[in-house]
Structure 1
Amino acid sequence: MELEPLVVIWNPSVRKCVGIVIPNVLHSKVGYTRIGFGVCHDTNDPKLVKINVVETPSRCWEVQVFTLSSRVWKTVFTGAPFTSCHLFLDNVFIDGIIYWLSHGSFILSFDLKSEKFVEVCIPEISGHTYDLCLAKVNESLGLLEFYSEGGLSVCGVWMKKDGVNQPFTKIYTVKVEGKSVFSYRVLGFRNNGEVLLHLDDDDDDDDSKGFPIEVYEPSSGCINSVGISGESHTFFMGSYMETLLLLDQSNSIIH
């Protein structure tokens, strides 16, 4: 018997965790599932958003929202609103809104308060761009653009300020002398704008010896090590805020 996937919401500050079984996850030629998590600002209620995209025989979406206070899944949409997009697996949660990047088309946002989707336009970018991804930059939605310059890969950092309807603005480009900056090497952004990178050696195929995590300073272009090294693809960084979320919950699994 195949076990159903489980999402665990954990707050280390209060040492509480709640596991939520995710029903009807698609992972075949029939379609795919995307999961997002966030906390509604008005109610301080954690929510999971599940998007099931059925590819065959015709593309159809089923969107369900799980609210921790009610402990039930609610269907909020069934239909075909975005027939031409395929969502990336990763998402970003900022100020009550979950964002997914579609394959080269647009950014899809889901407001946890209204439980509605809105399309966010991607800015006009260089024709040499080969990769895009979303990030949280200075507490705002960021779009990272990767392209070749001078034989190396660099990262253009775009940021959207003041809400969904405002345009993106390019704020700087991450360039490191003699090293390529790929999407998997950008770990995240500090609140002061510094970028954490895991920069291995483009000419060295042996990554078992470990490579350092570096801090990139955008205004000067300088990098400094934080004293931590490891193999490529083994690091992850996410934002964290102390909260009393889950304080009133018992450690449990919700089916």
Structure 2
Amino acid sequence: MNRLPVKSLLQFHTVSKSWKYSIDCSDFICKYGFRESNNCCLYLTFKQNFEGVICSVDDNLALSPVVSNLKFFNLTPFATSEGVWCFSYGENSMLLIWNPSLKKFVRILVPNYLLEADSPKMLFGFGVHPVTLDPTLLKINYPYYGQGPWYVSVFTLSSRTWYKVDSYCLPRESIRIKRSGQAVVGGKIFWVGSEKFYNDDGISYKIYMLVSFDLITHQFQVIDMPEEMLVGEFLPPYFISQLEDSIIISGSFNFGNFRIIYAWELEVDDGEVSSYRQLFTIPYPAEHELKLIGFSKDKQPIVEAAIFQQWHQSLQVFNPSIQSFQNVGVEANHGSFFIGQYKESLLLVNEQSRAVIL
């Protein structure tokens, strides 16, 4: 059964109780969840004027529209985990969990608390529990200016409820998380964080680090970045993504009449960066701006490219054999490109029991 596509398994799911039990078994789900589709490597979403689009991207970087009953222009994707996507809706009033394999989604209302005024610094996190496969959401709030207490709420799809995380599980109040993406590696969600300090002259500066949230213990942890990534020409802003089970930190810097986009690959174990290496440095014309948003199946960097005085952004892939970027052939609104690794997943919701079927 592990070799069958999701559509066939859903049909066999209704044959008998024994077949249903075998398919719903958590061991089977876990093993099947790591099975990548042979026909599709990536899913790509973007917005063109008043239309939201989602496409599958094959090994040759050809795009094919994906049929869905979702209206993607109203949705902003911010994370994927184990083949499941998560979007924010409108003015962050609702979140939506979507399984593209099953063409099913679940809406979750975002709670408001009288003593926790929402601010522009509010952000969300999403990941799938590595053992129970329970989709988990985070809502993170803290004051817009200066230091102040963190307010974090967690939602699990199996419970269908939000609960507040105790203060002893939270990072220092002076730390802020950058809304520049997230990575889900080893059962933890990772973000880039920063902390502001002042020197003797009263001039402020920031130190950057990784901030993680454990999907099992629901505790945060602060992880120092290697000094090599924090000094020299490699200056913020930092963006975070992932390549298989590694964390990728990327950015760009000016170098005279051209810029350089760079990326570091990090491995994290027991709350420390256990290894790191510079993945690439690629020069490009200074009038452009590049942002790393993912990798092809062959691990080629995929970037969102902005050209000076042009409204739309283009999707480009770096080909190392010719040392040049190639246009994929799609243009979109600024900052709307989002790439997620495609994995066939059996995670779905039983509406009667309101629990995740494992």
TM-score interval (norm. to shorter): 0.7 to 0.9
Does residue 34 in structure 1 map to residue 142 in structure 2?
no
RMSD in angstroms over aligned alpha carbons? 2.9
Decide whether aligned partners of structure 1 residues 153 and 78 sit closer, same or farther in structure 2, where only a CA change above 3 A counts. same
Decide whether aligned partners of structure 1 residues 237 and 57 sit closer, same or farther in structure 2, where only a CA change above 3 A counts. closer
Match of residue 246, structure 1, among 348, 351, 357: 348
Partner of 2:245: 139
Partner of 1:73: 162
- Normalised by the size of structure 2, how large is the TM-score? 0.59
Whether the 8 Å contact between 2:210 and 2:225 is mirrored in structure 1 is yes
Partner of 1:96: 187
Looking at structure 1, the residues matched to 232 and 92 of structure 2 have their Cα atoms a distance apart, in angstroms, of 42
Whether the 8 Å contact between 2:254 and 2:286 is mirrored in structure 1 is no
Unaligned runs of 5+ in 1: none
Match of residue 237, structure 1, among 339, 344, 349: 339
Partner of 2:299: 193
Whether the 8 Å contact between 1:138 and 1:190 is mirrored in structure 2 is no
Decide whether aligned partners of structure 1 residues 247 and 64 sit closer, same or farther in structure 2, where only a CA change above 3 A counts. closer
Partner of 2:218: 115
Partner SS, residue 131 of structure 1: coil
Decide whether aligned partners of structure 1 residues 11 and 49 sit closer, same or farther in structure 2, where only a CA change above 3 A counts. same
Decide whether aligned partners of structure 1 residues 239 and 181 sit closer, same or farther in structure 2, where only a CA change above 3 A counts. farther
Identity %: 27
Looking at structure 2, the residues matched to 190 and 114 of structure 1 have their Cα atoms a distance apart, in angstroms, of 33
Whether the 8 Å contact between 1:140 and 1:160 is mirrored in structure 2 is yes
Partner of 1:157: 263
> CA-to-partner distance for each residue in 1:145-203, whole Å, 9 max, x for gaps?
32222432212210112635214321211223x356645x323222422011233434x
Decide whether aligned partners of structure 1 residues 168 and 244 sit closer, same or farther in structure 2, where only a CA change above 3 A counts. same
Question: Bigger relative contact order, structure 1 or 2, given CA contacts below 8 A and separation 6+?
Answer: 2
1:24: Cα distance to partner? 2.0
Larger radius of gyration: 2
Bigger shift: 49-58 or 158-167?
49-58
1:99: Cα distance to partner? 1.1
Partner of 1:62: 151
2:141 partner letter: N
Decide whether aligned partners of structure 1 residues 181 and 236 sit closer, same or farther in structure 2, where only a CA change above 3 A counts. farther
1:127 partner letter: G
Partner of 2:310: 206
Partner of 2:104: 16
Decide whether aligned partners of structure 1 residues 83 and 249 sit closer, same or farther in structure 2, where only a CA change above 3 A counts. same
Whether the 8 Å contact between 1:214 and 1:224 is mirrored in structure 2 is yes
- Normalised by the size of structure 1, how large is the TM-score? 0.80
Bigger shift: 235-244 or 225-234?
225-234
Higher helix fraction (1 or 2): 2
Looking at structure 2, the residues matched to 172 and 61 of structure 1 have their Cα atoms a distance apart, in angstroms, of 36
Looking at structure 1, the residues matched to 122 and 161 of structure 2 have their Cα atoms a distance apart, in angstroms, of 18
2:174 partner letter: S
Looking at structure 2, the residues matched to 57 and 198 of structure 1 have their Cα atoms a distance apart, in angstroms, of 32
Whether the 8 Å contact between 1:100 and 1:107 is mirrored in structure 2 is yes
Unaligned runs of 5+ in 2: 1-90, 195-206
Partner of 1:43: 132
1:64: Cα distance to partner? 2.2
Looking at structure 2, the residues matched to 67 and 147 of structure 1 have their Cα atoms a distance apart, in angstroms, of 39
1:140: Cα distance to partner? 1.4
Decide whether aligned partners of structure 1 residues 24 and 219 sit closer, same or farther in structure 2, where only a CA change above 3 A counts. farther
Q: How many residues get paired?
A: 241
Looking at structure 2, the residues matched to 218 and 75 of structure 1 have their Cα atoms a distance apart, in angstroms, of 47
Looking at structure 2, the residues matched to 220 and 92 of structure 1 have their Cα atoms a distance apart, in angstroms, of 30
Looking at structure 1, the residues matched to 188 and 287 of structure 2 have their Cα atoms a distance apart, in angstroms, of 32
Looking at structure 1, the residues matched to 345 and 137 of structure 2 have their Cα atoms a distance apart, in angstroms, of 18
